Amino acid sequence: MADQSFVTLATNDSYVKGALVLGSSLRNHRTSKRLTILITPHVSDPMRKVLEKIFDEVKLVNVLDSGDAAHLALLKRPELGVTLTKLHCWELTQYSKCVFMDADTMVLSNVDELFEREELSAAPDPGWPDCFNSGVFVYRPSIETFNQLLQLATEKGSFDGGDQGLLNTFFSNWATTDISKHLPFIYNLSSISIYSYLPAFKVFGTDAKVVHFLGRMKPWNYSYDSKTKSVKDTQDPTMAHPEFLNMWWNTFVTNVLPLLQQHGAIKDTATGVKAEEVTEAVSHMSISSPAQSNPPPSPPPMSSEERKERWEQGQADYMGLDSFDNIKKKLDTYLQ
């Protein structure tokens, strides 16, 4: 349907890789909806060209592109940068209904039925289930709502510093008012839940329709061996359930990599070498473009203080340092 669209967001070339996999997964599962991506000026030109191959609409947004009072006030809250960029999705008023999906999500089946839901429908957050997770949500574009959200951001900020805190404050009756706005968890299955409730994952995991690689380690931060079709587990030898990561990489290598090569979005040094080396190069690639002045670095090692802080902010490194197996090891040392 032309007036309904999936929407995602990428503010840099790393998240574009995620968005391209998400878009490919939606196409592979034959969505009948349009695909829209919001990007910011940091996204390089070759990447924009590739995005246009998969998305119907590539819309450039800029948080500070307007001189109105709300925007000016927000200049004083730089911490809300990416958060506010996500809010731009409410401006897509050419559509009557949209489903926003984080660039670190991927669909495992057709999920067009989500458009039967109303604003604001979302799945519970695994960390605090009375809040919804803002990685997947159904909404109705509206300039009025957009302005109200901006106003709330200006006046109160966000309790978690991100879009999820703000949206949960705005749609504050989500938890109690209308059960049809609670999306089943299988529409936003986060990696953390695999570890935190393994028996449930074993029973219900096969029904998953959307996986969400939330947390610090994103799929594109890993290396992939295309011969064995599996993620090379260099930093994290204890990773317990790499199935979804491997699916992400399989989609990347099959659907996205050829487009990146065609459009010169990866360095030429990658041609003429074995596929395995290409994919490894890609997983660590820095895209050669002057627009990309500060390519996002892979996550640096953390001090234990910093790690504790991240835990407290709900940003545990579930795929890596804080993976189930690592935590279990630690517990075992106490028990012995």
Among 153, 147, 158, which Cα is nearest to 88's? Answer: 147
Write down the H helix ranges in 40-162: 45-54, 69-74, 81-87, 143-156
Which of 21, 50, 102, 248 contacts Mn ion by CB under 5 A? 102
**Does residue number 187 form part of the binding site for ligand UDP (CB under 6 A)?**
no
Amino acid at the residue 150: L
Nearer to Mn ion, 15 or 46 (CB): 15
**How far is CA 25 from its chain centroid?**
13
Count of chain residues binding Mn ion (CB under 5 A): 4
Nearer to Mn ion, 104 or 236 (CB): 104
Contacts of 98 (CB under 8 A, 6+ apart): 4, 5, 6, 7, 36, 89, 92, 138, 139, 140, 141
- What is the enclosing helix (H) or strand (E) of 136? strand 132-139
Whichever of 124 and 135 has its CB closer to Mn ion, that residue is 135
127 binds ligand UDP (CB under 6 A): no
Starting at the edge strand found earlier in the chain, the sheet holding 132-139 runs 57-60, 34-39, 4-10, 97-101, 132-139, 121-124
Q: Is 255 in the site for ligand UDP (CB under 6 A)?
A: no
Q: Which amino acid is at 181?
A: K
By CB under 6 A, residue 11 contacts ligand UDP: yes
Q: Which of 23, 46, 126, 135 binds ligand UDP (CB under 6 A)?
A: 135
Is residue 257 near ligand UDP by the rule CB under 6 A? no
95 binds, among Mn ion, ligand UDP, none (CB under 5 to 8 A by kind): none
Select from 7, 20, 26, 103 the one that contacts ligand UDP (CB under 6 A).
Answer: 103
- Under the criterion CB under 6 A, does residue 161 sit at the interface with ligand UDP? no
Cα–Cα distance, 115 to 232 (Å, whole number) = 37
Write down the least CB distance from residue 23 to ligand UDP, Å: 12
Residues at the site binding ligand UDP, with contacts judged by CB under 6 A: 8-12, 15, 82, 86, 102-104, 135, 214-215
Residues at the site binding Mn ion, with contacts judged by CB under 5 A: 102, 104, 135, 214
